[in-house]
Structure 1
């Protein structure tokens, strides 16, 4: 991994586990490899108060999910989606083309969670 931020999040991933008293949960799997990300969140007043991840995949999937969890925590749903997209776009230039889908799998998980939350409103 060339990018120091990705490397740091791969070596020391943040927010690992299951959110206590989570209100929403999602699971996404890559269409092209065996990467799987589970995300649990505690949401109140449309703010992500807690977010936890479990990742079974490559280093890029782990780093992407860790970055996503840090960028989303404490934000509204819409703010989180924008923040996650922005942070992933800033690091993707250092990611091989074959692994870009891996860092964006976490964004797919967040989008899926947001869809669940919208339906639950």
Structure 2
């Protein structure tokens, strides 16, 4: 798993409308080659929620997810590890970004950041 500065870098990048490059060596090291390619597809092809779900499954297998868009938020996503109604900081994460697919990638990155932060107190 990537260290916190790398996770935070990609979170800021995607939340701002940027993308994760599948050939970016930092992304490959942080997420693995397949997950990096899924992240690229989700963040370049802005409507690719399927690719965002592939990224989520590679990084957080089995987590519940939902995403969408609305007038107030162009893209939002929410994840839960145990159950959709469970509310523990480590077990849930949200994300906002220009599209639902990007928001789901941001939510995954937020969850990974929370998990890493919990390991270090």
TM-score by length of 2: 0.28
In terms of fraction of residues, the more strand-rich structure is: 1
Normalized against structure 1, the TM-score is what? Answer: 0.28
